[in-house]
Amino acid sequence: MAMETVTPVKMRELELNSAFIGLPPVILMENAGRGAYEEIKRRFNVNNSRIIVFCGTGNNGGDGFVIARQLSAHTIVHVVLLGSPDKISRKEARINWEILEKIYQRVKTHVISSTDDLREIKPIVDSADIIVDAILGTGVRGLIREPLKTAIKMINEAKAKKISIDIPSGMDPETGVTADISVKPDLTITFHKAKKGFIGREKDLGELVVTSISIPEEVEYIIGPGDVITALKRRFFENRKGDFGKLLIIGGSERYHGAPVLSAMSAIRAGVDLVIISAPELIANTIRAYTPNFIVRDYPGRYLTPESVKYISTLINWADAIVLGPGLGVEAETKEAVYKLFTLIKEANKPLVIDADALKVLAEHPNALAGSLTVATPHRGEFKLLTGLEIKTSEDILTNINEILAKISMFDITFTVKGAVDLVAYRNMFKLDLLGNPGMTVGGIGDVLTGILGCFLSQGVEPFKAACAAVFITGLSGNLIADKKGYHFTSSELIDYIPAALDEALAFENTLSISQPDKKVYEVLKSRKTETFNINNK
């Protein structure tokens, strides 16, 4: 049976989304340390043994602090902190370090700032029976710096039994590649699931044990701030214009000109650098008059036609991602042009959001975008048009999830099905967004979501993850404006709250709070049947 694995990014996402439902990181750390302690106690004689725990200043070190505290019930434990206590990065790790400092009779702490400090504790290391490696966890990348490098060498040279926590220090958890040096454990105790980098590197792990940290099953299926935090592209002083995406929006017609504007402004507020709207010349100046914050490139006529495509093809090459559909209309010539654009965009391998009228073309050509970097964003009525399945209530999603996934898989693209509870799905993966409120039935909210999604795609976020982040930010923006104005707001007003929603999502790691004025949607999870989750959701 194949080893079930998780990436470091996915693991961080799960930890943050556990906090989102009320399970804080300090409990997960306690569960991790306790689980590792139980495995150590089961395999080794810890009573009156000489035990030393090497800890870094990150979360892996925090796990080590908990392990040391648990082991101190059996023997005096030496804890070696590789770095200054004021460099301990996570609140939950600092809490556990401070506990160790208060139980100094059973736990002896050694703060290491240089290789000279390590030489002073070498006799303790050489005489140890058990050494626990909690130095570097899933955040390790590149070469190992001092004094960590010397500490790893000392661990490897010791005669003690060696136990690595979560991952052997020095191994890249994503690729399994080891740096210039890594711990060579007799036992690796990893949490929740084996790490992706373990595949093919089993000989570097010693015995591998996977232990639970009690992340609830539901967290695998809930979209939370972790989906945003792990998707957002960080900004640096030396960034240039265009580094945060160039988005092309193809939309608008003689009847509809507001939809592409809503998408464009949403993308800009979400953080994209450049937006071009490609629209018919009849409405181009009307769109230009809204704001100077985006560019308008027009083509002849009142609506999109096959002849218009030649004016758009060079813009496709310019763009990092494309939005197709808002306000296009359903003229026969427009549908023909949309199908032609499907082909061009797929051939160019550009990420694509299809919304509104473009979805009707997808319904007629369900395989047109198969295997491409596309996200379709139907509301429940459009989803019925596309698949023949009707979602009457949010409870229907979980009741019929296997049938829904089977239908979506036929298109071989990512779907975002909009409703009171949003569903994001790709092949056999799915997640639910539980934010939002009744005020978000106002027209144009779908166009806002489309723009935010286009922003994430233009910044290189893969489609499923981009869709999860976009629906969360859309829902959170709606909740923030509802907090201020109640349920009577417009889509253009909601756009102004997108930056605040991004800030609140980013701040979640420290605040552990998100605006949730309407939590009735959580009742949807209670309606699920156990068998509905019996799918291969890896």
**Dihedral Cα 489, 495, 497, 500, nearest 10 deg:** 170
Indicate the CATH number for domain 236-471. Answer: 3.40.1190.20
Residue 55's pLDDT band (boundaries 50, 70, 90)?
very high
Every domain of the chain and the residues it spans: 5-220, 236-471
For residue 68, give the amino acid letter.
A
Tens digit of each residue's pLDDT (9 = 90 or more) over 109-167: 999 999 999 999 999 999 999 999 999 987 666 788 999 999 999 999 999 999 999 99
Distances (CA, A) of 345 to 3, 8, 311, 312: 36, 32, 14, 11
Tens digit of each residue's pLDDT (9 = 90 or more) over 4-38: 899 999 999 999 999 999 999 999 999 999 999 99
Cα 427 from Cα 406, distance rounded (Å): 7
Cα-flanking dihedrals φ and ψ of residue 246, to 5°?
A: -125, 120
Average pLDDT over residues 41-53: 96
The CATH architecture of the domain made up of 5-220 is 3-Layer(aba) Sandwich (3.40)
Distances (CA, A) of 119 to 54, 129, 162, 313: 14, 19, 19, 66
pLDDT for residue 513: 87
Tens digit of each residue's pLDDT (9 = 90 or more) over 177-191: 887 899 999 999 999
Label residue 134 exposed, middle or buried (CB < 10 Å: 0-12, 13-18, 19+).
buried
Tens digit of each residue's pLDDT (9 = 90 or more) over 367-391: 999 999 999 999 999 999 999 999 9
Cα 156 from Cα 163, distance rounded (Å): 11
**Dihedral Cα 256, 260, 266, 267, nearest 10 deg:** 170
- Mean pLDDT in the chain? 93
Residue 94: strand, helix, or coil:
helix
pLDDT for residue 537: 42
Cα 156 from Cα 54, distance rounded (Å): 12
What is the chain's Cα-based Rg? 26
CB 401 within 8 A of CB 470: no
Cα 521 from Cα 397, distance rounded (Å): 12
Q: Is the pLDDT of residue 478 over 70?
A: yes
Cα 392 from Cα 369, distance rounded (Å): 27
Residue 515's pLDDT band (boundaries 50, 70, 90)?
confident
3-state secondary structure 1-40: CCCCEECHHHHHHHHHHHHHCCCCHHHHHHHHHHHHHHHH
Q: Are 5-220 and 236-471 in the same CATH fold?
A: no
Average pLDDT over residues 507-520: 78
